A and B are shown apart, each in its own frame.
Chain A
């Protein structure tokens, strides 16, 4: 009984100390106007602006027509391209030189080249070749542009043929994102990245800063326990990051009409676990680094790897096999997977067990390493 009371007292003392530390960090942050702006305004502004940038959607792709045939047929096909939502006609000419120049300058991304006998062969029912030149500069978009162009040509050919349609009628449906709205796909990911950047940077700079200023020595001289110290350094930024995540979700809901199909509780629980990992790594970098410059550079490297290997911009499935294995060790990959699945697909705990467990395993590893590292620094 007495042992229990003693334990309770100890727990209370622990919480009191950690509470004081948290208040101290909060006060430091709130006193600094610039930092408040950097922590709260920059990520939300970026979320609202950048979410619009992350798209492979094709609209108003500029095209040039080299029309050697000068016929009703060639004009009809040109009109079909211009009338589609995908292409804007940049110019038409009889020879190829100006078109090539426009393509080299990057002013057009597609050239449609209609041969001299285009109309004649069509009328006679002979197969006709048209050349479509696509600039590869836009990467993934180039393939889509070529696909649209092929579809428009095929539709025109079918209209000319006016024979019976295809024997197989194909209907298509895109589940979870019927309108193919990129923002639905990107907003959860971008939000999570922004929260990660802020949270990791703040923790990574924290301890090493105290080292540089010399206040870490003072802290080490106090009777502060290791667990109290780490909790006091981690919790304030963990709370900040979670608040930020909530802010971002509200903004995304209001501005982008982001669907929230699954459980918000699940999302925040997963977010809480994930942020412990991300901030724990920040803390570990901070104990490891000698100077803030070092801490910053290593954090930056860590953030870049998270950014490009998490499947945020390019699908994990497109990576080479070893890349897919490496991606499993990227904390951000798991949390982006969870947030996309919860928000867009409405997935529940049972379907997300694998990424959730991966995050929990990472918490254990990160903590063991960070605590070890800190005890070495302290001695």
Chain B
């Protein structure tokens, strides 16, 4: 019909489309309250969570069970006190109070020394038990490792000092015979600052929501009110209606990217090792995928409520958990790893981390980019088809 190949027809279509986009933009701009929320909340979220989401284990509240206190045990407690990671909270003579303290969440860890610990250490063999609250396994195993390191350091000093005569030649000579000194180097993020890793993920989450949710609701609203019918009898073709609905949100989401990245750089000092232009282009691509997802949801949902339940309940937790944002994908069981591939955020996070932290370029990222482009294409085709069948 109106999409005739001649130039005049095409120009007319474009001007109608342009007018429609302007109308939609004006709608969004008029609702100041929503607009302010849309611009401010993503920024607030990135800032707030950037500070709060950390996995570093510190301030471990440790208690000691010392049946026979003496100089050696006091020195051990002092060692823990001297470490930045540990906060000693008390010393008991038996393990009886421990369960209650753990249940009340007053204690993270207990170092239980065997009776006559000091005397045994003088003789060369002493025993102790580290009890850790492992209900959070990650923190639990980290705390265990830290405690072991403190105890080994104490042991080296104790053995090197007074106890060395008792242990004899074991310490300096033969143990040194196989000393391997592992030098650990953490690449891409030497300080292991959690936020450097989470910021790309947070941006992805925020973009998914602004784009996918807002568009799906905007389109289903027209359906619910019955104004979609009016649009459909207008000279606009279905894909033009979709573009008109989506274009203002594309701009809005892009502004969100800019402010979030700006905040990440200014406030957190998150590095940008690679090309900023590439990062912005990839963000644009990811916004397109999210918008297409929103349109797809809206072509299936009959009411705003259904669209919202589908989008929030269906997207929030999977994009958080399956995208590798917090939990690494290769820690997941083998059957689950392929599933993470269908989450668009997975690919964007890999791209954003690659550019920001590793400074890699196109040669390392073209595959991920291709996947995102494919997702956008498939979702768009599927929604246009859905849209068309509704017409007939």
Contacts and interface: CB of A to CB of B under 8 A. Distances in A.
A324 to B, nearest CB: 9
26 contacts: A53-B327, A53-B332, A54-B321, A55-B331, A104-B358, A136-B189, A139-B328, A149-B182, A157-B178, A163-B174, A166-B155, A167-B126, A168-B154, A169-B128, A170-B128, A174-B134, A177-B137, A178-B134, A194-B317, A294-B33, A296-B213, A296-B308, A297-B213, A320-B52, A347-B104, A351-B100
Contacts of B181: 127-130
Contact of A137 (B59, B126, B197): B197
B129 to A, nearest CB: 5
A174 B51 contact: no
Interface in B137-152: 137-142, 144-145, 148, 151-152
Interface in B160-185: 163, 167, 170, 174-185
Interface residues of B, number: 120
A277 interface: no
Contacts of B124: 164, 167
Interface in B36-67: 37-38, 41, 45, 48-49, 51-59
Contacts of B321: 50, 53-54, 190
B392 interface: no
Contact of A34 (B37, B167, B302): B302
B57 A315 contact: yes
Nearest to B196: A136
B336 A53 contact: yes
Interface stretch (B253-261, B349-357, B378-386): B349-357
Interface residues of A, number: 121
Interface of B: 31, 33-34, 37-38, 41, 45, 48-49, 51-59, 100, 102-105, 108, 121, 124-142, 144-145, 148, 151-152, 154-155, 158-159, 163, 167, 170, 174-190, 192, 194, 196-198, 205, 209, 213-214, 217-218, 221, 224, 301-302, 304-306, 308-310, 312-314, 316-318, 320-322, 326-328, 330-333, 336, 339-340, 350, 353-354, 357-358, 360, 364
A144 B353 CA distance: 20
Contacts of A56: 55, 137-138, 327-328, 331
Contact of A209 (B125, B136, B213, B304): B304
Contacts of B178: 122, 125, 157-158, 160-161
A193 to B, nearest CB: 7
Given A109-B330, A201-B309, A294-B33, A319 B155 contact: no
A205 B180 contact: no
Dominant secondary structure at the A interface: helix
A3 B31 CA distance: 52
Nearest to B108: A317
B221 A314 contact: no
Interface in A265-294: 290-294
Given A142-B192, A177-B135, A161 B52 contact: no
Contacts of A177: 134-135, 137, 140
Interface stretch (A7-15, A225-233, A337-345): A337-345
A96 B33 CA distance: 56
Contacts of A202: 309
A52 interface: yes
Interface string A122-156: 10010111111111111111111011011001101
B167 A167 contact: yes
Contacts of B127: 168-169, 171
